[in-house]
Structures are given as structure tokens and as C-alpha cells.
Amino acid sequence: MDNIKISPSILSADFSKLGHEIQNLENAEADLIHIDVMDGHFVPNITIGPEVISKLRKYTSLPFDVHLMISPVHNFIKNFAEAGADIITIHPEATENLVSSIKKIKSYNKKAGVSLNPETSIDKVLPVLNLIDLVLIMSVNPGFGGQKFMPETLEKVKILRREIDTKKLKAQIEMDGGINFENAKIAIKAGVDILVSGTTIFKENGGNLKKNIQLLKTG
């Protein structure tokens, strides 16, 4: 359990003081900062772009775990890499050539991730598993925070865990969507390395960030 990492989603933070919210997360011993980028086209919501990310970069040394829910994504990779993203995660449906987009992310010396929506087949990621650093399993349909966890998505985690361990690959498994203290335990048991959580971290226990992060880590 000691190696479980927590990547708080700033989608649940106070957007009027995002820089300070990120500093508070670092002080609360978060491992990464999860930034959801949505375009209102690939998903039915609009959040922030590279300009905001570049302004937030000065507030923390923690890795920026940037999840791009934009389509077409390929031509925007450069913008987010230069804005200060450390991990760039994309969806197979959002690019004409997944391998080409992964290579483009890597060309900026960034870690590359591939995200699977609940309805997206695991077959979309298996052929590129040796090329990437992260698989993000969505346990809700992306677009909005505060949704209910979909337990059926855990099956993908179990398959990926076996595949990664058997082939001794470096890819980590991240899970995002409706993560709370109860289902965090199940996700960790299934083989997740990184948990993304927003509502639970910012709202539970009176918004005690450090306590909530530790509770998620220990399962």
C-alpha cells in the first residue's frame, strides 16, 4: 500500500484561487496534481487550457498529471507540453494515429498516457502498452466531477495488472471517477497504482486535505 499515489483532481478545487489550492495539496502530501482539460466537444464540459496551466506551474514542483479530453488532440500536444505538463494522457478516439500521438508526447520528454472511457475496449491500449507510462481507467463517463463509481470498470484494471506484471512493463495504472474511501480499497486491491480523486479530497472531513489523502492511500 505504501507505493499508492494520489493525484487530486483540481476540478473540485476553488477555481478563484487555484494556485493556492495547488499549494495546499502539495502541503497535504499529494503526489501529483491531476488537471482535466475539456473542450466541450469530446466531452460535454469546458475547463481550462494551456495558458492557465502555464500560470499554475509556478505554484508547485509536483508533477502535473494532465488528462486531455479534447478532439482532435494531436495538434495540441505541443501546447500542453510547453505549458508545463509532466504526464499527458490522451484518448484513442481523439486521435487519428495513437502511436504517432504517443511519440509526439515523448518527443517533448513527457510521460505518455492513454485513457479508456467505461465503454472503450481494453483492446485499444494493449497494442501500445509497451510504449506508454500510464493507463488511465475512467470509472465514470468523463465530463463532470462528483459522479458515481462504476465497479464494472475494475475488470480492466485486473486485466492490465496481469498484462503489465507478466510482461514486466513500466506502465502504471491510474483510476479516475467517483473514487471515495470505500471503493479506493477495491481499486487498490484490483491493481491500481494511482488514484485520482476530487470531491472526496476537497469535501470529506471538513475539507481536511491531508487526512483525506492519507485515508485514500492506506485504503
Q: Where are the alpha helices (DSSP H) in the chain?
A: 18-27, 50-56, 77-83, 98-107, 154-166, 181-190, 199-203, 209-218
What DSSP character marks residue 33? E
Residue 62 to residues 7, 85, 134, Cα–Cα distance (Å): 10, 10, 17
Tell me, rounded to whole angstroms, the distance of Cα 106 from its chain centroid. Answer: 17
Length of the chain in terms of residues written: 219
182 and 204 Cβ atoms separated by less than 8 Å = no
Residue 194 region, left (φ>0) first, then alpha (ψ -120 to 50), else beta? beta
Out of 36, 65, 133, 193, which one is annotated catalytic? 36
Out of 31, 39, 133, 176, which one is annotated catalytic? 176
Residue 53 CA to residue 66 CA, distance in Å, equals: 9
Q: Which residues, 6 or more positions from 103, have their beta carbon under 8 angstroms from its beta carbon?
A: 131
For the question of residue 36 being annotated catalytic, the response is yes
Report the catalytic residues: 36, 176
